[in-house]
Amino acid sequence: MKAVRSALTLIIAFSVLLIGCDNSPDIPSANNPDPYFMHDVATAEAGGYPVYWLGWEFAAGDLTFYGPYGSGTGGEVEGGGADFGYLAPVQPGNIDLQLVTYTRAAWELAKERITNPKIPGETRPVTRRSVAVKGRQADLLSLPGLTRPVNQLWLIVDMGDAVVLARAPSVGPATPGGPEGSPFINNPDLLVQVMKDLRPYPE
């Protein structure tokens, strides 16, 4: 539920602030960072652990994602870490990619539910495959749900000093065979490619 609340907060904030203008003053940048993200960064610096990110913007297919946006509420990671997201403006809504950095202590608390997710009422299995990100083995999980064979993609990358989880939710009508708006759901290898630019903030 915390992840759902965080995602909804990001989407609502982005819808209000960013309706389709690449030079909007509300788009995060080095000169205009999102205050909730910077709060998470300051907390990480005080705690002596890193925050991994993808820069102020990145391309995925023909879309540009902007961020990072902190959730402001419910984004704290138990045991230490940062939970934030990037959004790409499309019509009629936005496409979301969420990143969570877990400290080693936080990962021990979250590891079981992340690596072996349970989906209430879902009989289809979670599928997984090993991929390479930054020269490290990573796990790509495809989670079914609702009427979709893939409702979310999770990419788990152990960076050594922290573990990073990327969550790409499905976008589009929840109808059998309905169109899928997320480029990551349509092409999971695109998520792997984007995550190859993962790096500690502020590099």
Tokens of residue 122, six digits: 């879902």
Per-residue pLDDT of 94-130, as tens digits, reads 999 999 999 999 999 999 999 999 999 999 999 999 9
Distances (CA, A) of 79 to 87, 102, 117, 156: 26, 8, 19, 18
Q: What is the mean pLDDT of residues 34-48?
A: 94
pLDDT over threshold 50, residue 21: no
Instruction: Check residue 9 and give its pLDDT.
Output: 43
Rounded to an integer, the average pLDDT of 80-97 is 92
Q: Which pLDDT belongs to residue 7?
A: 44
**194 CB-contact burial (10 Å; exposed 0-12 / middle 13-18 / buried 19+):** buried
Q: In the prediction, which pLDDT does 49 show?
A: 95
pTM of the complete model: 0.86
- Strand-pair partners of 64: 59
Predicted confidence (pLDDT) at residue 36 exceeds the cutoff of 90: yes
The mean of the pLDDT values for the chain is 87
Query: Using omega within 30 degrees of 0 as the cis cutoff, is the peptide bond preceding 202 cis?
Result: yes
Q: Which has the higher per-residue pLDDT, 22 or 183?
A: 183
The yes-or-no verdict on residue 33 having pLDDT over 60 is yes
Nearest CA-CA partner of 87 in 180, 18, 6: 18
pLDDT of residue 174: 66
Over residues 130-157, the pLDDT tens digits come to 999 999 999 999 999 878 889 999 999 9
